[in-house]
A and B are shown apart, each in its own frame.
Chain A
Amino acid sequence: MKGNVIVVTSGKGGVGKTTSSANVATGLAKLGEKVCVIDVDVGLRNLDSIMGLEGRVVYDLVDVIEGKCKLRQAMIKDKRVEGLYLIPASGTRDKDALTIDGMHDLVRRLLEEEGITRVILDSPAGIEAGFKTAAAPANAALVVVNPESSSIRDADRIIGLLEPQGITEVRLIINRLRPKMIAKDEMLSVEDVVGLLGAKPIGIIPEDENILISTNRGTPIVLDTTLKAGSAFWDAARRIHGEDVPYPPLEEKKSWFERLFGGGR
């Protein structure tokens, strides 16, 4: 993706926005980029724990914006991956403490003074002020969507709001796909989601219980590419980085029973 300031958004909550932010940021750093991922979900701090960095939080986003600490002091350096930094959200303040000017200035300083080459902004759910503040400094967007009714409807709303914000580079991360249900025509396929939303995917992530396990451990799943979702996030990061990575087939091999009897198709 050309945009070096990417907002990760979804409209609906609970679709994997923060997980996507953590994994995309970690993957991009592994690819050699200097990445700063910012938790803009002020008041509901989560990205730090998903990345396993909660024990190292001293200062937060609101502290930097209000000038209570130096920018460098609020950037938690990830020790597992070179070139990865997290600015956590404040767990106590509310989102009114953030200003659009403050966010613009912060992103500019990261790029110009701290040598950061890619900023990932983890947006709060919803389509109101919190989302707009997170999206303000962005020049690209990742819209995280699940193949179900309310997530798609909310994603469509968000996509409609991105363009007026001047964000034209919009790509989808389609998360929680269940190949067996798609094969039975009981879940929307990647093609269905892409057709409905009129935006191109850049990540196609199968449902994988290992995501919960890696979140429990505080280790982004992208660090283990032997796992289904880890490999899918790694591919997504490589595409965002600019590599041409084909999409592996989502469908699992059919069992002998399904081959014999047509497997419900």
Chain B
Amino acid sequence: MFSFWGKKKGSAETLKNRLQVMLAYDRAGLPPGKEQMLREELLSVLKKYFPNAQNFNIDMQRDGEGEAMILKADIPLK
């Protein structure tokens, strides 16, 4: 990655960002691959009960400082 001046971004920054995500998943006890499975299963259940609703959005987010993970579901029901 290159900044405006063409200076290479240090690997420390890359590691810090990677670790923030790693630690959040570790603390939640959920590997990232399973998050995808969870999301797909939740979506199929929602579609079963609300066949006409659309735009479900299920997302895994870090809470503020990155201490905890939040499973956030945006479920508009018409």
Complex interface bits, B1-21 against A, C-beta within 8 A gives 1, otherwise 0: 000000001111101101110
Complex interface bits, A110-147 against B, C-beta within 8 A gives 1, otherwise 0: 00000000000000000000000000000000000000
Determine if A78 is an interface residue (Cβ-Cβ < 8 Å).
no
B16 neighbours in A (Cβ, 8 Å)? 188, 192, 196
Q: Are A189 and B12 in contact (CB under 8 A)?
A: yes
Determine if A186 is an interface residue (Cβ-Cβ < 8 Å).
yes
Interface residue total, chain A, C-beta cutoff 8 A: 17
Q: Are A186 and B10 in contact (CB under 8 A)?
A: yes
Query: Of residues 147 to 166 in A, which have CB atoms within 8 Å of B's CB atoms?
Result: 148-149, 152-153, 156-157, 160
Q: Are B10 and A185 in contact (CB under 8 A)?
A: yes
Interface residue total, chain B, C-beta cutoff 8 A: 16
A188 neighbours in B (Cβ, 8 Å)? 12, 15-16
Q: Are A196 and B12 in contact (CB under 8 A)?
A: no
Across the interface, A186 reaches (CB within 8 A) one of B11, B23, B26, B67, namely B11
Q: Take A149-B18, A149-B19, A198-B67 as given contacts and tell me if A156 and B12 are in contact as well, using a CB distance cutoff of 8 Å.
A: no
Q: Take A156-B27, A157-B26, A160-B27 as given contacts and tell me if A196 and B20 are in contact as well, using a CB distance cutoff of 8 Å.
A: yes
Shortest Cβ gap from B17 to chain A (Å): 10
B23 neighbours in A (Cβ, 8 Å)? 152-153, 156, 196
Name the CB-closest residue of A to B20.
A196
**Interchain CA distance A162-B33 in the complex, whole Å:** 28
Across the interface, A185 reaches (CB within 8 A) one of B13, B22, B26, namely B13
**Interchain CA distance A156-B26 in the complex, whole Å:** 9
B20 neighbours in A (Cβ, 8 Å)? 196
Across the interface, B12 reaches (CB within 8 A) one of A153, A160, A192, namely A192
Q: Interface on A for B, CB 8 Å cutoff?
A: 148-149, 152-153, 156-157, 160, 182, 184-189, 192, 196, 198
